[in-house]
Amino acid sequence: MKMNVKMFNSLTNPPAEVLEVEGKVVEIHYMNDTNYLAQHAGQGHFFAWSSDGKSYKLLVEKGYYEELNELFLPKVQSLQIKLYEDLSKARRRIYLSLILPVFLIIVGLLVVSMLMKELADYTIQIAIGGLVVFLIANIFQSSYLRRKVDKLRNQYFDDLEEFFGDTKLDELVVRQREYHARYFNFDDEEPVKEDVVHEAEVEEKEETQVVPAWVSEAKEDKVEEVKEEPKKEEAKPAETVKEEPKEVKKEEVKPKEEKTPAKVEEKPKEEVKPKAAAKPKEKPAEKAVDPNDAVDLSVLTVDELKEFAKDRKVNGFSTMRKGELVEVLPKVYADLRVVELQALARLESIPNFSTMRKGELIDVLKNGYQEKEEPQKEEMPVVEEASERIQVVEKDGKVNLAVLTVEELKEFAKDRKVVGFSTMRKPELVESLPNNINELRLTELKAYARYYELPNFSTMRKDELIEGLTLGIPVVVEEVVEEVEEVEVINVLNEDGTANLNLLTVEELKEFAKERKVAGFSTMRKPELVAAIPNKVEDLRAVELKALARVKKVPNFSTMRKGELLEAIK
Encode pLDDT of 217-236 as tens digits.
334 444 344 344 444 444 44
- Look up residue 511 and give its amino acid: E
> Using H for helix, E for strand and C for coil, what is the string for 308-376?
HHHHCCCCCHHHCCHHHHHHHCCCEHHHCCHHHHHHHHHHCCCCCHHHCCHHHHHHHHHHCCHHHHHHH
What's the pLDDT at 535? 82
SS3 51: strand
Q: What are phi and psi of 475, to 5 degrees?
A: -75, 140
- Look up residue 217 and give its amino acid: E
SS3 418: coil
Report the pLDDT averaged over residues 539-551.
85
Query: Contact, 234 vs 227, CB < 8 A?
Result: no
In what helix (H) or strand (E) does residue 307 lie, and over which residues does it extend?
helix 302-311
pLDDT at 348 over 80: no
What's the pLDDT at 345? 83
Beta strands 389-390 and 24-30 are unpaired
In what helix (H) or strand (E) does residue 27 lie, and over which residues does it extend?
strand 24-30
What's the pLDDT at 136? 94
Encode pLDDT of 179-201 as tens digits.
888 887 754 444 333 343 344 34
What's the pLDDT at 105? 92
What's the pLDDT at 199? 42
Dist CA 548 CA 569 (whole Å): 7
Alpha carbon 320 to chain centroid, angstroms: 24
Report the pLDDT averaged over residues 422-441.
90
pLDDT at 77 over 70: yes
Report the pLDDT averaged over residues 72-85.
85
What's the pLDDT at 132? 93
Q: At what angle do helices 442-451 and 462-471 cross, to 10 degrees?
A: 30
Which segment, 46-55, 267-276, 551-560, is predicted with the most confidence on average? 46-55
- Look up residue 199 and give its amino acid: E
pLDDT at 555 over 50: yes
In what helix (H) or strand (E) does residue 20 lie, and over which residues does it extend?
strand 17-21
At residue 290 the predicted structure's pLDDT band, cuts being 50, 70 and 90, is low
Query: Contact, 57 vs 8, CB < 8 A?
Result: yes
Report the pLDDT averaged over residues 125-150.
90
Dist CA 304 CA 311 (whole Å): 11
What's the pLDDT at 387? 52
Dist CA 159 CA 325 (whole Å): 30
Mean pLDDT of the chain: 75
What's the pLDDT at 508? 86
Q: What percent of the chain has pLDDT over 90?
A: 5
Dist CA 279 CA 285 (whole Å): 10
Query: Contact, 338 vs 208, CB < 8 A?
Result: no
More confident residue, 142 or 235: 142
Dist CA 63 CA 16 (whole Å): 13
At residue 553 the predicted structure's pLDDT band, cuts being 50, 70 and 90, is confident
Measured between alpha carbons, how far is residue 404 from residues 27, 99, 426, 474, 540 in Å? Answer: 25, 59, 9, 20, 36
Encode pLDDT of 366-401 as tens digits.
777 654 444 444 444 443 443 577 888 888 889 888
pLDDT at 329 over 50: yes
Q: Name 57's bridge partners.
A: 27, 50
In what helix (H) or strand (E) does residue 24 lie, and over which residues does it extend?
strand 24-30
What's the pLDDT at 91? 87
pLDDT at 167 over 70: yes
At residue 101 the predicted structure's pLDDT band, cuts being 50, 70 and 90, is very high
> 185-189, 427-431, 565-569: which range is least confident on average?
185-189
pLDDT at 418 over 50: yes
pLDDT at 420 over 70: yes
At residue 258 the predicted structure's pLDDT band, cuts being 50, 70 and 90, is very low
Q: What are phi and psi of 499, to 5 degrees?
A: -75, 135
Q: What are phi and psi of 222, to 5 degrees?
A: -65, -40
* Phi-psi label, residue 517: left if phi above 0, alpha if psi -120 to 50, beta otherwise: left
What's the pLDDT at 489? 55
Dist CA 270 CA 7 (whole Å): 64
pLDDT at 32 over 90: no
Dist CA 63 CA 46 (whole Å): 9
Encode pLDDT of 433-449 as tens digits.
998 988 899 888 889 88
pLDDT at 486 over 60: no
At residue 124 the predicted structure's pLDDT band, cuts being 50, 70 and 90, is confident
Dist CA 243 CA 261 (whole Å): 23
Measured between alpha carbons, how far is residue 184 from residues 177, 233, 396 in Å? Answer: 11, 37, 34
Query: Contact, 512 vs 559, CB < 8 A?
Result: no
What's the pLDDT at 220? 42
Beta strands 24-30 and 56-60 are parallel
pLDDT at 239 over 80: no
What's the pLDDT at 250? 38
What's the pLDDT at 139? 93
More confident residue, 442 or 489: 442
pLDDT at 257 over 70: no
